[in-house]
Amino acid sequence: MNGARSLVETLLRSGVDTCFANPGTSEMHFVAALDQSAGMRCVLGLQENVVTGMADGYYRIAGKPACTLLHCGPGLANGLANLHNARRARSGIVNIVGDQATYHRPLDAPLTADTEALARTVSGWLRTSSAAADVGRDGAAAVQAALAFPGQIATLILPSDASWNEGGKVEDPLPRPRPEAVDPDSIETAARVLREGKQVLLLLAGRAVLSEAQALAWRISQATGASLMADYVTAHLARGRGRLQLERVPYSTDLAVEALRRFDHIILVGAKPPVGFFAYPGKPSTQYRADAQLHVLTRPDQDPVQALDMLAQLLRAPPAAIPDPGLRPRVASGPPTPDKLACTLAALMPENAIVSDESVSYGRGFYRHTHAAPPHDWLHLVGGAIGAGLPVATGAAIGAGGQRRVISLQADGSAMYSLQSLWTQARDRLPNTTILLNNRSYAILVGEYGSVGATPGPTAMGMLDLGDPLISWTRLANGMGVEAARAETMEECADLMVSSFAKPGPFLIELMTSK
């Protein structure tokens, strides 16, 4: 068999059964191999950033890597922004990049680029297969690398002759990597700090904000009086009834400093020390008090459940019931506001929904009003490269096997970066509901002008205005085969949500919001 087929077979043996693809000439043999080996679902994205973002969303929900299929250096380049986001989300992806044949590359044909240099900027593991006989081995190694706890991007560059030459060998899966061992000293230190009775924050990130870790953290909090917060950089949070009412460290430097001011100690559970997304003139770069002491309970590559369990036992923390979040909010009415949208969403979202949140500035208060919704998973943009929301939502729907409603809370400016996602939602009849927040501007940047101390004139404000010409998201969605309708009030929005949640396939609600 040829190298391409050995790769597809090896991926399948290793449990990778979904391929997000935007192939070109150099990937034709891989694509052809998909018909020779049963079991690989192939999902087409019409731009590579859609492809890579889907792979990120898939991993967050399926908990196992998919592979991508990208075309040469420039195809990889198109997908880098969402690979950047996936890297920050610590998602596992087997990122396959076809490339020039080994003997053709030195000729510097037009599409030739420094594929390895591009890949290195986002990859935790990188290898170029130079011969068909190596492709299976390298594929198995890539899957193993993608699974390195809690997940990373493993890029396999596949020259076209390594794909088409005979001599491919199917390889068995390599052992799944285990998390790095928890350091008993870090447990002891955390316990000591927690017993001292000062103001202590357990700052949770990564898998420490999923249900199992939440329950342990809550026990510790109840036993010691420690506070709990989620890192702003949180890719995937378990939320709703039965889960903790965790708030994230705020985005705004001023608010984050305010929120963290009272803590003498911050125990990091998979989190990094909290810093601003950006620097601002005259404001601190770090958000915690200068004399606060930071302690690492777990690094991101250690298992927070194990560590929190050890800590709870050491503290003899008794079982503690997760607090009831109170009454489920009701559908709101009248002109849209962020709070009304959050209430309406909480009132209507189906059980076990997935929320893909790229609402940017509009959605900073969504958490408060959605605690009392049914249990759901909330996915955030953590790398800051806007354009992740729709692809992540699309991949999440596939990662959930089409069995869960995925709701995008999607700002308009960000949506424009990867609107091609809508076509894939229609192609694969996915249960995606997009609530497109059309405020006709890059609203976050209007706020950022103030934060950086710049004074915008008309040209500057023109750079943030998406209102001339007006973008019609219903037309854009229709143009890509997705049903859509516009809502001017919360009643209209609620009606459309109800009808979309009740039927299969994607739908887009264009919610006209104020700037």
CB of 302 to a copy of itself, least distance (A): 19
Q: Provide the minimum distance between the beta carbon of 35 and a copy of itself in the complex, in angstroms, as a whole number.
A: 3
Helix (H, G, I), strand (E, B) or coil at 81: helix
Applying the rule CB under 8 A, the residues between 468 and 497 that interact with a copy of itself are 468-476, 478-482
Query: What would the two tokens of residue 419 be?
Result: 């609107």
Which of 14, 253 has the CB closer to a copy of itself? 253
Q: How far is the CB of 356 from a copy of itself (least distance, A)?
A: 17
Indicate the residue among 58 and 164 with the shorter CB distance to a copy of itself.
Answer: 164
Give the Cα separation of 296 and 269 in Å (integer).
7
Specify the residue, 172 or 468, whose C-beta has the smaller distance to a copy of itself: 468
User: Closest CB to a copy of itself among 277 and 321?
Assistant: 277
| Binding to a copy of itself in span 270-299, by CB under 8 A | 272, 275-279, 281, 285-286
Q: Please give the distance of CA 345 from its chain centroid, rounded to a whole number.
A: 20
Cis peptide, bond prior to residue 150, ω within 30 of zero? yes
Which residues ranging from 220 to 259 are in contact with a copy of itself (CB under 8 A)? 233
- The verdict on 210 binding a copy of itself (CB under 8 A) reads no
| In contact, 60 and 210? CB cutoff 8 Å | no
Q: Which region among 123-131, 185-193, 410-418, 431-439 touches a copy of itself (by CB under 8 A)?
A: 410-418
Residue with tokens 């979904």: 18
DSSP string, 475-513: HHHHHTT-EEEEESSHHHHHHHHHHHHHSSS-EEEEEE-
Shortest distance (Å) from residue 373 CB to a copy of itself: 27
- The contact mask relative to a copy of itself for 370-389 (x = CB under 8 A, - = no) is ------------xxxx-x--
Q: Identify the residue among 12, 13, 17, 28 touching a copy of itself (CB under 8 A).
A: 28
Q: How many residues bind a copy of itself (CB under 8 A)?
A: 102
Contacting a copy of itself within 124-163 (CB under 8 A): 160-161
Site map for a copy of itself, 55-84, x if CB under 8 A? -----------------xxxx-xx-xx--x
Q: Which is nearer to a copy of itself, 111 or 320 (CB)?
A: 111
**Does the protein bind a copy of itself through residue 114 (CB under 8 A)?**
yes
Q: Which of 448, 491, 492, 495 binds a copy of itself (CB under 8 A)?
A: 448
Residue 508 CB, shortest distance to a copy of itself, in Å, is 11
Place of tokens 């009701």: 330
Torsion of CA 114, 118, 123, 129, to 10 degrees: -20
Rounded to the nearest whole angstrom, what is the least distance from the CB of residue 4 to a copy of itself in the complex?
Answer: 8
Residue choice 12, 13, 17, 46 for contact with a copy of itself (CB under 8 A): 46
CB-CB neighbours of 503 under 10 Å: 9
Q: How far is the CB of 474 from a copy of itself (least distance, A)?
A: 8
Considering only 109, 255, 321, 498, the residue that binds a copy of itself (CB under 8 A) is 109
Token pair for 185: 């000293």
Distance of CA 467 to CAs 181, 443, 464, 508, Å? 53, 12, 9, 19
Pick from 256, 294, 308: nearest CA to 278: 256
Q: Is 167 in the site for a copy of itself (CB under 8 A)?
A: no
Torsion sign across C-alpha atoms 67, 116, 178, 231 = negative
Q: What is the dihedral of CA 161, 163, 166, 170, to 10 degrees?
A: 150
Peptide bond just before 375 cis, omega within 30 deg: no
Query: Is 70:22 a contact under the CB 8 Å cutoff?
Result: yes
Position among 58, 125, 288, 417 found at the interface with a copy of itself (CB under 8 A): 417
- Counting Cβ atoms within 10 Å, is residue 38 exposed (0-12), middle (13-18) or buried (19+)? exposed
What tokens were used for 218? 């809550």
